[in-house]
Amino acid sequence: MSDLEVIVEPGRQDIVVRRTFDAPRDVVFRAMTEPEHLARWWGLAETETVVDRLELRPGGTWRFVEKGPDGREDAFRGVFHDVVAPERFVQTFEYEGMPGHVAMETHALEEDGGRTRYTSVSVFQSVEDRDGMVRSGMETGLRQSLDALEELAGSLT
């Protein structure tokens, strides 16, 4: 069991995620931001993630395609704002199936004696957008993918 916390307060338009990873910060940062690693943990367990683009710099764009076992493809994209390796990156996030609904995500990593404390804040354009993301079952997917990230980070140390 991880210590994953997903904080969704009523009436707000953000989702705060906290989790500790049993791996050093620089390794977690690499697992989160390098295409060959990211493709292995991002998304649901039963889907395959293809990293179409990942330009890790302010103004760089990213696009990932999730391929389901039934052949369905869902694409996600965004733009990087700030990148301060291995501490923090800020990016926008948009599901191509719902264009115009953009969230902004801040991902922060703190070193804690060989372990890493991760905090993400995702802010949505409205409470409705935020609640829609929660209803889509994001917590299940997040739990799976962050567990897979920890396992991968363990293999990189």
Angle at 150 (CA atoms; ends 57, 10), nearest 5 degrees: 75
d(CA 4, CA 51): 25
50 binds a copy of itself (CB under 8 A): no
> Exposed/middle/buried for 10, CB within 10 Å: 0-12, 13-18, 19+?
exposed
d(CA 25, CA 85): 10
Given the rule CB under 8 A, which of 17-25, 38-46, 119-127, 135-143 is the region that contacts a copy of itself? 119-127
DSSP assignment letter at 100 = T
Given the rule CB under 8 A, which of 34-42, 43-51, 91-99, 148-156 is the region that contacts a copy of itself? 91-99
106 binds a copy of itself (CB under 8 A): yes
- In the complex with a copy of itself, the residue whose CB is nearer, 55 or 74, is 55
88 binds a copy of itself (CB under 8 A): yes
- Of the candidates 103, 145, 110, the residue with the CA atom closest to the CA atom of residue 25: 110
- In the complex with a copy of itself, the residue whose CB is nearer, 104 or 138, is 104
Relative to beta strand 61-67, strand 73-84 is: antiparallel
Minimum CB separation of residue 94 from a copy of itself in Å reads: 7
124 binds a copy of itself (CB under 8 A): yes
Contacts with a copy of itself by CB under 8 A: the residue count is: 30
Which residues of this chain interact with a copy of itself, rule CB under 8 A?
11-14, 55, 58-61, 78-82, 88, 90, 92, 94, 99-100, 102-104, 106, 121, 123-127
